[in-house]
Structure 1
């Protein structure tokens, strides 16, 4: 009885073994394709070596900067921080200078000033003149979370020139920050001094108004005393009477005392001596003037941050990573070689199976024809 058309015939247990991976066969395939494998690996390594040779080597000059200590900053810190109204002139701290300097380091305007002012137009990354953007692209600033240290790095193809330029830029930024902070500090001190001057002028004007008022009161009292013929103060008049400069009993002092006090008041020359708050204002102004002079004198002798004594030129390039590139080339060449060997072996195996199937079909056809002829 014939089997149904869609029935799958039984196969022997040895048929499935053809699809299993044989380690020795894999090794044999790799060994047979060793020339292709080695050729691709050598090609990849050669291309990597050419790339490394043609790529300019970048060197990394680095420096660590720290905030200045309080003792150094005391040279320009105000010693008197308030005037008559206890108005602060500003607070100067190492942290303020340090953070301001870190912001200025990545300022394009600061980089342009540095390149134009110092004439540092040599490009560490090439022979062409360097722009501010190129300079900032080569510069990196990394600040610790503690805020007590920052690492500054500059990349360039010329080790010594890169280290020299980094040192010059740090000095330039430090001095620029000090000049800017000193200018702001001097402006705050000058504003406080002007405020004190206005307060002193106001105090003098108020004292002058009081003097004129008192002179008018004394003159009127003297006229009253003269009209009443009171030349000298009488005990019986003053026994139970309170006499003050601003009440209507002042005339009881008599014309002689009133005219003498009026004459002294009108001829007074040292008017500041009778203004008590003026001395305090003058002391505040004197302290602020001393602070301003201290800032002008020492603003060029301190730094915004602690600079390294010197920056050593790097001896080993930071890029390209020669060893890493060559290792990657070997790995890529190995992978490409293995893929090529296995693909080639697969194509060969496919051709062999196709050819075998064709030959098997051809033989069956011959046998069928031979059997047909035998029957006839």
Structure 2
């Protein structure tokens, strides 16, 4: 079949408003394989950048200021540590319907401890006076020292466990040993302050309770004395009447009820004996007076002793940390190497791009 006899392809009709789409040239597209090849040709340059980044990271990691954090776990103190305080509280309360329990007293002391230990002012006072901070703040001006103090305080933490009285206390420093010693010293300092304050208040409350009881006892004693004077006065009046009436012997029967109006019927002899006996005998008090006296004696004998007092107990003693917070050497070295690779690759690609651009310009 000749070329003329071959069927000719008919042109496709073109719709109105339709324009054919032609692919754009691909010379500006990034060839992934070419990109990889460029990087591979400069691999030693990239490796060098990676080594340099690792070295820089290593220099920083081994020269940067370290931070170590010591931790301790504290809880409510046991009864042995608060027994003296509890006894004092119970003596002050006396015979009340709802008295404090040992747990109540321990929790009260522990709350005072946590409140003071977490106080910014208390932390500021302790840290600023420590040799550790004085060394850190050496050669710094006032504003720099204040900022440094705030940074150190912000890193101290008291974290409470949910639904319990257990706290985890954290204290930072430049070395593991410094962190441990600072935490120990701070806990002891706060415990001493809280114990001293609470036991001084206890001693003051005991003295106040003693004075209150003594005033009540004096009032009851005065009432008893006035009562005795009134009885003596009645007997004296009855004795005068008996003398004037010439009654020497009792003029009463077994059913006669005696009171201030007919007491003279006892006669002169009996009334004289009664007068002498009442004047000589001690005052008569009711049960309330002796209850108060018992409380006063116990309070007076009680000795407030806060020398061994503990406002908290350790569940975990402060220990020198094993792992430092920063710098994290392994992470820094990895990041340094990664950054070196990225920088090296970027330099290689930028250099090749610049070379290609100049070549195209020349063409």
Q: Which TM bucket (shorter chain)?
A: 0.7 to 0.9
Q: Is the contact made by 2:252 and 2:265 (CA closer than 8 Å) also made in structure 1?
A: no
Task: Tell me, in whole angstroms, the C-alpha distance in 1 between the residues paired with 2:207 and 2:25.
Answer: 98
1:304 alignment partner, one of 302, 311, 330: 311
In structure 1, the residue matched to 2:105 is 93
TM-score, length of structure 1 as denominator length? 0.73
- Name the CA distance, whole Å, in 1 between partners of 2:240 and 2:91: 51
Does 1:322 find its partner at 2:333? no
Partner of 2:270: 257
Residue 189 of structure 1: how far off its partner (Å): 1.6
Note if contact 2:221-2:285 (Cα within 8 Å) is conserved in structure 1: no
Aligned length: 337
Tell me the distance in 2 between the aligned counterparts of 1:165 and 1:158: 11
Unaligned runs of 5+ in 1: 1-6, 357-376
2: distance between equivalents of 1:46 and 1:340? 19
**SS of 2:291's equivalent?**
helix
Higher mean C-alpha deviation, range 143-152 or range 196-205: 143-152
Cα offset, 1:319, TM superposition:
1.1
The structure with higher relative contact order (CA 8 Å, sep 6+) is 2
Deviates more, 1:201-210 or 1:30-39: 30-39
Matches within 5 A, 1:29-178: 29-32=38-41, 34=43, 37-38=46-47, 40-78=49-87, 79-83=90-94, 93-107=105-119, 110-111=122-123, 120-123=130-133, 126=136, 128=138, 133=149, 136-137=153-154, 139-178=156-195
Query: Alpha carbons of 1:332 and 1:113: their partners in 2 closer, same or farther (altered >3 Å)?
Result: closer
- For the aligned residue pairs, the C-alpha RMSD in angstroms reads 3.8
Contact in 1 for aligned 2:62/2:329 (Cα 8 Å): no
C-alpha distance in 2 between matches for 1:267 and 1:208: 12
Unpaired runs of at least 5, structure 2: 1-16, 140-144
Per-residue CA distance 1:12-38 (angstroms, 9 max, x = gap): 44x365566543233224335546644
> Within 1, Cα distance between the matches of 2:318 and 2:170?
11
Shift of 1:338: 4.4
